[in-house]
């Protein structure tokens, strides 16, 4: 899926595989997802693939976008994960338009990243666009269900 940012910025976001496809019986190792990012932004252009999310993190992102699309208050204005490669932050919340900042850190930044610089893309979305994001992420997640939850 592609997040459309302000000023023609884009973030292509895809789950490419489990980090360890052969491990199916371990709560964490079985559920790490490789996230492919192709970023065209005011901060630069780059591509990365890194184990950034667990299957349950992807579910949390979907629920967060669904709540935003229905004007339901979320538990938090930002989503931060065990691997701090990605963060989603609600920076403007109006009933008809919301601005979500996608932040990139560690392995999700360009290889030549400057540690003093923030890397992010701001996306303005109405409720229909937020709903579409949730639906597209649901489609992404169907190929990568949670495999071990013990």
User: Could you read off the pLDDT of 83-104 as tens digits, one per residue?
Assistant: 999 999 999 998 889 999 999 9
Determine the 3-state secondary structure of 114 from DSSP.
coil
Q: How far is CA 17 from CA 14, 22, 45, 63, 72, in A?
A: 9, 11, 23, 21, 31
Backbone angles phi, psi at 75, to 5 degrees: -65, -25
- 40 DSSP β-pair partners: 10, 45
> In angstroms, rounded to a whole number, what is the distance separating the alpha carbons of residues 33 and 21?
9
pTM: 0.95
| CATH fold of 2-142 | Transcriptional Co-activator pc4; Chain A (2.30.31)
Task: Kindly report, residue by residue over 69-85, the tens digit of the pLDDT.
Answer: 999 999 999 999 999 99
């Amino acid at each position: 899926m592609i997040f459309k940012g302000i000023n023609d910025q884009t973030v292509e976001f895809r789950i490419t595989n489990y980090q360890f496809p052969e491990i199916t019986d371990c709560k964490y190792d079985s559920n790490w997802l490789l996230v492919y990012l192709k970023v065209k932004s005011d901060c630069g252009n780059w591509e990365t693939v890194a184990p950034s999310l667990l299957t349950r993190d992807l579910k949390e992102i979907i629920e967060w976008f669904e709540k935003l699309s229905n004007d339901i208050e979320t538990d938090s204005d930002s989503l931060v994960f065990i691997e701090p490669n990605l963060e989603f932050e609600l920076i403007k919340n109006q009933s008809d338009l919301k601005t979500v900042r996608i932040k990139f850190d560690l392995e999700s930044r360009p290889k030549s990243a400057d540690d003093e610089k923030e890397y992010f893309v701001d996306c303005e979305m109405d409720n229909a666009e937020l709903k579409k994001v949730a639906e597209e992420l649901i489609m992404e997640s169907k190929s990568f269900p949670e495999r071990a939850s013990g």
